[in-house]
Structure 1
Amino acid sequence: MLERKQLKGRTQVTFVLPEDTPRGPVSVVGDFNHWNPAAHPLRPQGDGTRIATVALPAHSAHSFRYLAAGDYWFNDEKADGREGPNSRIHT
């Protein structure tokens, strides 16, 4: 799931997944962090979810995917679209 909050000239995007699906560590990787899995790991929250928040330029589009343990790549079903193997988000 994706949550957006408009800021001055930027959009704060929060990537949200269930705490245990998939099991193990998960990162959001994309063109906004040079596909670096260490840049935005999802962190557990008290409500049974885990999140990572990224500030992106307003009125832009970005490719991203999630990377879980065991080199398991997957997309966000709630993304704005797809481009090849990647999810897309529009801010």
Structure 2
Amino acid sequence: MTFRLDAGRPDGTVSVVGDFNGWRPGTHELVVRRDGSRSVSVTLVPGEYRFRYLATGGVWFDDEAADALDGGGGLLRV
């Protein structure tokens, strides 16, 4: 699964964290691409996963492209 953010959102380091990596920040850090977007690929087995993004300064945010969103973050169905 590739997690991707458009260019310029937000400044600083961003990690994708979720139940697939024990909610450990820094485990899956997004890499800046030539076009300014960021992405990271994570190998996932079929199932449902909850995740959020964590940016520099402790800023948490959700992915509007998730299969569903609620107060606990985004839901991803693989």
TM-score, structure 1 length as denominator? 0.80
Aligned residue for 2:20, secondary structure, equals: helix
Aligned pair count reads 78
Distance 2:42 2:6 in 1: 18
Q: CA deviation at 1:82?
A: 2.2
Q: CA deviation at 1:83?
A: 4.1
2:44 alignment partner, one of 56, 64, 70: 56
Contact 1:17 1:49 survives alignment (8 Å): yes
Where structure 2 has 5 or more consecutive residues not aligned to the other structure, the ranges are none
1:84 corresponding residue in structure 2: 71
Distance 1:48 1:67 in 2: 18
> Which deviations, in whole Å up to 9, do the C-alpha atoms of 1:44-63 show, x marking residues without a partner?
111221101101002x0000
1:45 aligns with 2:33: yes
Distance 1:28 1:67 in 2: 6
Where structure 1 has 5 or more consecutive residues not aligned to the other structure, the ranges are 1-12
Letter in 1 for 2:24: N
2:19 corresponding residue in structure 1: 31
Letter in 2 for 1:46: R
Letter in 2 for 1:65: R
More strand by share: 1
Distance 1:16 1:44 in 2: 10
